[in-house]
Chains A and B, each alone.
Chain A
Amino acid sequence: MSRAAPRDRRRDRREPPATDASDQEPVDIPRKAARLRIPPGYLVNRLLTLLLTIWIAATLIWIIPRLSPVDPADIMLGRMAAGAGAVQDADRILDQLRESFGLNDPLIVQYVKYLRNIVLFDFGLSTATFPTKVSALIARALPWTLGLMVLSLLITFFIGNLLGALMVWSHSPKLVRIAIPAAMVFTSIPPILSGLLLMWIFAAKLQWFPLAGAYGLTVEPGWDWAFAASVLHHGFLPALSIVIVTFGFWALGMRGMMITVQGEDYVRLAEAKGLRPRTVLYGYMIRNAILPQITAFALKIGLLVAGQVLVERIFAYNGMGKLLYDAILDQDFPVIQGVSYVIILMTALAVFLVDLAYPLIDPRIRHGSDG
């Protein structure tokens, strides 16, 4: 960025003479369209970074389970034995299972196959719910998680940042300024406890909301009002428990940024301009304080799936978190790999999109071709 300014200075000589002669300060007025265009070099650079991130992460996911002494074929056999009482020809079946999972191939072959497969979103078969495809399990769970998590993340982001800002704003009502820090207490409660508490109050005692599931057993999944209402009804408590627990993270981050922004000269000038206090709050203070929060938001998208495993578990919500939880219990490696891969993909994509969009929200950042 610092290099861009002197460059502009050079082009200045062609500026129209209408500029006041005494003002030797150079101006290069970029056209708006030019500013918003993403340079191809930058895009390629970002895309390569994206692919590299995914590749490294995918490789790690592949290596880590292989460091474990547990043999998935053993586990499957054990499960079969537990179900049937005894298994005949155990060695032959073990061998067949190893063969069908490709565990007998040399590692490099397994790795290349793995890479090819994840590009096609093929994570093989689940060992716990054999022979269901992992991709099918994920496809079933993902919409629920995306719905619940993204919605609650958006709500948390909105509420947390607003409350954080109000904690600092000098025109906030006194009550707000006292109430918010008190509400922060919830942030220190682990999500399991707050979830259980909410369930106990609103589901068990008051019976306003259902205890478990993502939608009612009596409604048919489909794009109709009854189903949507059921989904919202079922999703409310899990979402609320997430919001209560996590808004403090945003509020505290926002509070810190607001304190910095509050002391900026442009906020003081905005006040001296006689702007309405609300205009100053939204257009000058929050607008600037929110910038680092947006980067944090992108990172949170991926982390949320992993972070809210227990919430889904408690509310028996059939999302990615529950899928991951069950898979870990069952040592179902293909599912763990698949879920981890999706989490990484989401995080990397979110960061990529924020990288591209950042110059739109902060004009000081420009797409540099050197990344």
Chain B
Amino acid sequence: MTEPGHPDGGSRIHETAGVPGTTAETVHTGSGRNRGRGGPVDSMTGRPVLTLRELSVDFPTPQGVVQAVRKLSLDVRLGRRVGFVGESGSGKTTTALAIMRMLADPGHVSGGTIDLGGVDMLKLSEEDMRLARLSRVAYIPQGAMNSLNPVMRVEQQLWDAISAHEGRRNRKELMRRSDEALDSVGLHPRTGRLHPHELSGGMKQRVCIALGMILRPELIIADEPTSALDVVTQRQVMQTLREAQALAGSGLILIGHDMGLMAQSVDELAVLRQGELVEYGDIRRILGNPGHPYTRALISSVPLVGGKSFLRPSSAREAPGSRRPAPLLTFDRVSKVYGKLTALHPLSFTLRGDVPKIISIVGQSGSGKSTLGSIVLGFTHPTAGAVRFEGRDLRRAGAAGKLGFRRDVQAVLQDPYACFNPFYRVRHALAYPYRRFGLARDEAHIRQRMEEVCRTVGLDPDLVLPRYPHQLSGGQRQRLIVARALMLSPKLLVADEPVSMVDASLRATILSNIYDLKDRFGISILYITHDLATAYHVSDYVMVLYRGRVVEAGPPGQVIGNPEHPYTRLLVDSIPWPDPDRPWGGSAGPEPAADHAHVADAPFAYRGSVEGFELVTR
């Protein structure tokens, strides 16, 4: 990679074509069986389905032209999977949209060519381009949670796609094809009769894959298809996508920022940075011997269970060891029932808070971990049992007690984009609660405090304070939320998936910020996540939640490093490792699934305790 801006696509073809891959065989069978067009199959193996040459995309703005993609050249061949990896703003999605010719105004292709199976995509008429979408190149957009029209049944959304390309078809044929498509992604055909809101996130994502495959396109572009899913569902969806792609023999572009996921999913990797291709080649070569410092940084940003800690060694003084008259937080047989569903089974624990601790609560979506966090924050009232904060039952607390509780317990929530009122500058967002709680002495005091907390989370106060939230990046916003919580000097911080929507390279920084709060300010933290690798590094104690029950609890080295309960093992095995040779899914055997009897019936595994936190086991 001597010339990062001008990678030699041609020579790379030879380099990677020589690598024997299992997918090559799949292309043979897949093409022969399923492909109507494309001519003699054998001679077509490895034919580039997509060729990008010197592709540039510009976004003219009042401040000048932003070059979102700069002279990008690469090939995607039939049956091969190519990963686009990079941070937000690196041009991954822009490239995909340029191929689809769906760039948002005022973005446009300012140079280069996009060749799909011998057709110059940039020269197609609007109507021809429309017909090429889905039938030749399918795009599965980011955020599949909202990718389906909420007022149409799932199958109708498959039908209109078929009709738009092939003209009217009779209902029987449409039905047969939509059922087949859903079946191919592991969904029962009856799923098609449902409306999108009746489907879980994983199912919606599968529907999107079924949709992408239904006309058997030559190229599929999947834009962060699993970013909103938990690890177990992520692995299942990725397997579905791989199987469907292998069956159709199409080329696949997988866009993402998680090196672990890439390692487990693609054959070739394209590393993008600020619109430029900095490295491109076989995934094994790149992971084994990354040529560019940026690639190395991306790889090392993946936190590994048992690996080197991404946390800075704590330079702070010893945690303030204040004696508390009453434990900070006590759960006394707290449970939550919604209708017939028990979101949280009776749970009792005591967090003393004398010595601050980080307690991680891990589990899949729907395991009850967010319900638990919401109960701690006082947003959800338990159906039974009592939550005591510093010895006081929250429900019996008076107005002053509740106000004090609101100040002492702060939250960092998942979505950094939705957490700020867009009408106010950051300055206001930070100062307002400080004033309201009567902590401010005068304006200079507020100013000083704001600058202090901004520096604590590594932001330049002069840069961020006068801005509006939309002028900041997701990572900056999430750090500001930590700063806002810190303004009030809370005693307990509830962090519910604080980094799941942030670029992988920023996760470590933000988690370090949160981690520092413990030692520097003596704040105890409840870290709610489905990401076991980060929980492994930051926490003092881990509780694994499965269907509203704690199934395993103990120090992270025990619980995550060497899981005993089959459910914890399933979670740990579902983590994609940045090592293509390490099987994804862990130990061989039948497909692991969370509803297998051996998971559901396994006994609670107690793996030890930690000072300052007691879990009451029955």
Q: Which residues of A contact B (CB under 8 A)?
A: 1-3, 5-10, 15-16, 18-30, 32, 170, 264-266, 268-277, 279, 283-284, 287-288, 291, 361-364
Are A19 and B341 within 8 A (Cβ)?
A: no
Are A272 and B134 within 8 A (Cβ)?
A: yes
**Which residues from A are CB-within-8-Å of B165?**
274
Interface centre among A10, A24, A279 (most CB of B within 10 A): A24
Are A283 and B160 within 8 A (Cβ)?
A: yes
Are B149 and A271 within 8 A (Cβ)?
A: no
Mark the stretch among B194-202, B463-471, B603-611 that contacts chain A. B194-202
Are B149 and A283 within 8 A (Cβ)?
A: yes
Closest to A13 in B: B595
Known: A5-B198, A7-B340, A23-B186. A274 touches B152 (CB 8 A): no
Are B138 and A272 within 8 A (Cβ)?
A: yes
Q: Indicate which residue in B130, B160, B341 contacts A10 across the interface (CB closer than 8 Å).
A: B341
Are A273 and B148 within 8 A (Cβ)?
A: no
**Which residues from B are CB-within-8-Å of A19?**
187-188
Are B198 and A8 within 8 A (Cβ)?
A: yes
Known: A7-B339, A21-B591, A268-B141. A27 touches B188 (CB 8 A): yes
Closest to B165 in A: A274
Question: Sorted from nearest, which 6 A-B pairs have the closest CB atoms?
Answer: A20-B186, A274-B133, A6-B341, A272-B139, A265-B146, A25-B200
A279 to B160, CA, bound (A): 9
**Does residue B102 face the partner (Cβ distance < 8 Å to A)?**
yes
Show 29 A/B contacts (Cβ-Cβ < 8 Å), sorted by A.
A6-B340, A7-B339, A18-B188, A19-B188, A20-B188, A23-B203, A24-B594, A25-B199, A25-B200, A27-B190, A27-B203, A28-B198, A30-B198, A264-B146, A265-B144, A266-B148, A272-B133, A272-B138, A272-B140, A273-B134, A273-B211, A274-B130, A274-B161, A274-B165, A276-B130, A284-B149, A287-B149, A362-B151, A363-B150
Are A276 and B149 within 8 A (Cβ)?
A: no
**Which residues from A are CB-within-8-Å of B341?**
6-7, 9-10
**Which residues from B are CB-within-8-Å of A3?**
338-339
A5 to B339, CA, bound (A): 10
**Which residues from B are CB-within-8-Å of A2?**
338
**Which residues from B are CB-within-8-Å of A364?**
150-151, 195, 197
**Which residues from B are CB-within-8-Å of A279?**
160, 164
Interface centre among A7, A28, A269, A287 (most CB of B within 10 A): A269
**Which residues from B are CB-within-8-Å of A277?**
130
A28 to B188, CA, bound (A): 11
A5 to B165, CA, bound (A): 35
User: Apart from A29-B193, A271-B133, A276-B130, what are 4 other A-B pairs with CB-CB below 8 Å?
Assistant: A19-B188, A22-B186, A24-B593, A25-B202
**Which residues from A are CB-within-8-Å of B198?**
5, 8, 27-28, 30
**Which residues from A are CB-within-8-Å of B135?**
274
B49 to chain A, nearest CB (A): 17
A283 to B160, CA, bound (A): 10
**Does residue B143 face the partner (Cβ distance < 8 Å to A)?**
yes
A10 to B337, CA, bound (A): 13
**Which residues from B are CB-within-8-Å of A291?**
151
B145 to chain A, nearest CB (A): 8
A237 to chain B, nearest CB (A): 38
A268 to B148, CA, bound (A): 10
**Which residues from B are CB-within-8-Å of A268?**
102, 141, 147
**Does residue B539 face the partner (Cβ distance < 8 Å to A)?**
no
Closest to B193 in A: A29
A7 to B594, CA, bound (A): 19
Say what secondary structure dominates the interface of chain A: loop
Interface centre among B100, B151, B165, B206 (most CB of A within 10 A): B151
Known: A20-B186, A27-B188, A27-B194. A274 touches B236 (CB 8 A): no
A5 to B366, CA, bound (A): 11
**Which residues from A are CB-within-8-Å of B339?**
3, 6-7
Are A273 and B161 within 8 A (Cβ)?
A: yes
A58 to B142, CA, bound (A): 53
**Which residues from A are CB-within-8-Å of B148?**
266, 269
Q: Indicate which residue in B132, B151, B186, B206 contacts A287 across the interface (CB closer than 8 Å).
A: B151
Are A265 and B141 within 8 A (Cβ)?
A: yes
**Which residues from B are CB-within-8-Å of A20?**
186-188
**Which residues from A are CB-within-8-Å of B211?**
269, 273
Are B147 and A266 within 8 A (Cβ)?
A: yes
Are B146 and A273 within 8 A (Cβ)?
A: no
Interface centre among A3, A266, A287, A288 (most CB of B within 10 A): A266
Are A269 and B150 within 8 A (Cβ)?
A: no
A23 to B191, CA, bound (A): 12
**Does residue B384 face the partner (Cβ distance < 8 Å to A)?**
no
**Does residue B525 face the partner (Cβ distance < 8 Å to A)?**
no
Closest to B221 in A: A272
B546 to chain A, nearest CB (A): 12
**Does residue B453 face the partner (Cβ distance < 8 Å to A)?**
no
**Does residue B66 face the partner (Cβ distance < 8 Å to A)?**
no
**Which residues from A are CB-within-8-Å of B144?**
265
B242 to chain A, nearest CB (A): 13
A270 to B187, CA, bound (A): 21
Closest to B135 in A: A274
